[in-house]
Amino acid sequence: MPKRIGYLWEKLISWQNLYLAYQKACKHKKRKEETAEWIYYCEKNIFELQSELQNGTYKPHPYRYFNIKEPKERLISIADFRDRVVHHALVNVIEPYFENIFIPDSYATRKGKGLHLAVSAVQNYSRKYSWFMKLDIEKFFPNIDHNILLDLINRKIKDPFIINLCSIILKNQNTSMNNNIEIGLPVGNLTSQFFANIYLNKLDQYVKHNLGYKGYVRYMDDIILFSNKKENLQRDLVLIRCFLSNALHLKIKDKVTQLNKVSQGIPFLGYRIFPNLIRISQVNLKRCLKNIQKNEEAYIIGKINLDTLYNSTRSRYGFISYANTNSLKKSIWGEVQ
């Protein structure tokens, strides 16, 4: 069993860590009106938050919820600003210890990783192997078991105050939704993304070390395995399905599972990846162009400023620019310039 880390609570509730967490939360603030007063009295608020954590009286506020429809319909949860400070404070302290046990082939919400490096890794493996298998987990975030997750955290962190804070954060989701079942993480939280990587690290270790796969890429719950033998992937699909069910109480979304030759192109994160070419799927291309057009119209009628238009278009351009779409890139960026 790997060495467990303790005595982290004092570091978590230190002024330095809470202030750093506050700065990070400010970078990702959702609504100016929500955070203006908190920021204006930031020192007072940080001291109060520190006192609540220290005295064991900290209680998260209920989430706000809204639905998004693209790329698929999802319920997004927004934590109160003060709670986002706590989320950052927690991740600041414990993330480095989990980074030491995460595999290099997991790319979502990790420093020095990201979507484009995941796409690049898939393309590199497509040049070494003949076959791929694409897996997606059915309703991943809503089906994460809190007890299993806390056990996985406890295997690395032995500080009881840290474990208790993790439990408080997890329970807040169900309190907000009036649901007492200890299952599910809110989509949209920093801690949810981090906890999700801890949860699926167990699968990563199984695939890499027990099944022996060198060609493997995971971006949150989007998973690609590579092999030169189709029958190996078919055999191991059964083993992975059993492992997910028994160890993590998760299911593979069988309807979208794909097993094919890499020469047919690998659908991954909005791209279709070939050994020597990367294309954007037509659905994602249309969505990108539609969003660019919406923002241009919003700018014309004064709903957004030029900086917002520029940054939004630049983000879409970044997505498009990773594929082989030179003429399209020139067309889009030329209009903004």
pLDDT at 77: 86
232 plus 138 within the same structural domain? yes
Residue-range definition of the domain harbouring residue 307: 282-333
74-96 residue pLDDT tens: 788 889 999 999 999 999 999 99
Q: What is the DSSP letter of 60?
A: P
272-305 residue pLDDT tens: 999 999 988 677 667 766 776 676 666 677 766 6
Query: How would residue 307 be classed by pLDDT, with cut points 50, 70 and 90?
Result: low
Domain boundary residue, one of 261, 280, 299: 280
Considering the domain boundaries, does residue 67 fall inside one? no
Considering the domain boundaries, does residue 49 fall inside one? no
195 plus 329 within the same structural domain? no
Considering the domain boundaries, does residue 68 fall inside one? no
Domain boundary residue, one of 264, 280, 296: 280
Two structure tokens written together for 253: 């979304």
Query: How would residue 259 be classed by pLDDT, with cut points 50, 70 and 90?
Result: very high
Considering the domain boundaries, does residue 50 fall inside one? no
Total number of domains constituting the chain: 2
246 plus 195 within the same structural domain? yes
CB 292 within 8 A of CB 331: no
Considering the domain boundaries, does residue 116 fall inside one? yes
244 plus 136 within the same structural domain? yes
Which residue in this structure is represented by tokens 């695939």?
Answer: 207
Nearest-angstrom CA–CA distance, 104 and 238: 25
272 plus 293 within the same structural domain? no
- Lowest-confidence region among 27-41, 185-199, 293-307: 293-307
194 plus 263 within the same structural domain? yes
pLDDT at 30: 52
Judge whether residue 106 has pLDDT over 90: yes
Considering the domain boundaries, does residue 195 fall inside one? yes
Q: Where are the alpha helices (DSSP H) in the chain?
A: 9-12, 15-27, 32-40, 42-55, 81-99, 115-126, 146-154, 160-176, 190-205, 230-243, 282-300, 306-321, 326-336
Domain boundary residue, one of 241, 263, 280: 280
Higher pLDDT, 178 or 21: 21
How many CB atoms neighbour CB 230 within 10 A?
15
CB 81 within 8 A of CB 38: yes
214 plus 290 within the same structural domain? no
203 plus 258 within the same structural domain? yes
204 plus 286 within the same structural domain? no
Judge whether residue 327 has pLDDT over 50: no
Considering the domain boundaries, does residue 160 fall inside one? no
Considering the domain boundaries, does residue 52 fall inside one? no
pLDDT, average across residues 172-188: 72
Report the percentage of the chain scoring pLDDT > 90: 64
Here the CATH number for the domain that contains residue 241 is 3.30.70.270
How many CB atoms neighbour CB 185 within 10 A?
24
255 plus 325 within the same structural domain? no
CB 76 within 8 A of CB 66: yes
Listed in sequence order, the residues at least 6 apart from 129 whose beta carbon sits closer than 8 Å to its beta carbon are 215, 226, 227, 228, 262
Q: What is the mean pLDDT of the chain?
A: 87
Highest mean pLDDT among 23-27, 195-199, 270-274, 308-312: 195-199
208 plus 303 within the same structural domain? no
pLDDT at 40: 83
228 plus 132 within the same structural domain? yes
